[in-house]
Amino acid sequence: MEILSQIGIFFGVCLAGEAAASVLPIPIPASILSMILMFVMLCTKILHPKHIEQKSNFLLSNMAFFFIPAGVGILEHYESVKGVILPLLAVCVITTVLTFAAASLTVRATVAVQKRIASGKDAQQTGEETE
């Protein structure tokens, strides 16, 4: 029964995203709105991670399966992209490397800031203890 409730939560959030996409005057994909809604609900503790943990783990472990339709779509239009397949692959590889690099640098910067903040708090606590 727990899985059904988790699936219901996912479908409810997706339905809310679809409704918001149809009402908003600017074209934002419903899937993006759904992810933003889920993020806000998790951040504000309206939705707790334990409520969606089991279904989320299932979806994450089977994520590769969800890329099959996109690959089939590209193969269906192979004749259209045949002339630009190498530049397309080059763009995909380059942007993947750039994305990895940006994520790595962001994590490093975040860790450095966290260490700096933690060392500042430690110094303040040490200063208070010696007084």
Helix residue ranges per DSSP H, 30-67: 30-43, 53-61
Same domain, 41 and 76: no
- Alpha-carbon gap, residue 7 to 15, rounded angstroms: 12
Q: Are residues 40 and 21 in the same domain?
A: yes
Contacts of 47 (CB under 8 A, 6+ apart): 9, 38, 41
Same domain, 57 and 72: no
Which of these three, 26, 61, 96, is where a domain ends?
A: 61
Q: Are 57 and 70 in contact (CB under 8 A)?
A: no
Instruction: State whether 126 and 81 are in the same domain.
Output: yes
Regarding whether 87 and 50 lie in a shared domain, the answer is: no
Residue span of the structural domain in which 119 resides: 68-131
Structure token pair of residue 15: 């339905």
> Among the three residues 27, 61, 95, which one is the final residue of a domain in this structure?
61
User: Are residues 91 and 75 located together in one domain of the fold?
Assistant: yes
Q: DSSP label at 24?
A: S
Same structural domain, 53 and 4: yes
Please indicate whether residue 122 or residue 19 has the higher confidence score (pLDDT): 19
Distance CA 41, CA 19 (A): 17
Claim to verify: residue 82 and residue 125 sit in the same structural domain? yes
Do 5 and 56 belong together in one domain?
yes
Q: Identity (one letter) of the amino acid at 77? A: H
Using the predicted structure, report yes or no on whether residue 4 has a pLDDT greater than 70.
yes
- CA-based torsion, 110, 115, 121, 124: positive or negative: negative
Which pLDDT score is estimated for 126? 64
What is the model's pLDDT at position 59?
A: 86
What is the model's pLDDT at position 33? 95
Instruction: Indicate the number of domains in the chain.
Output: 2
Indicate whether 53 and 78 sit together in one domain. Answer: no
- Per-residue pLDDT tens digits for 24-79: 999 999 999 999 999 999 999 998 888 888 888 888 888 888 888 878 887 888 88
- For 65-123, what is each residue's pLDDT tens digit? 888 887 888 788 888 888 888 998 899 999 999 999 999 999 999 999 999 998 887 66
State whether 1 and 19 are in the same domain. yes
Distance (Å, whole) CA 52 – CA 39? 12
Predicted local confidence at residue 122, as pLDDT:
66
Per-residue pLDDT, 2: 83
pLDDT-based confidence at residue 131 (cuts at 50, 70, 90): low
- Same structural domain for residues 87 and 106? yes
Look at residue 127 and tell me whether its pLDDT is greater than 90: no
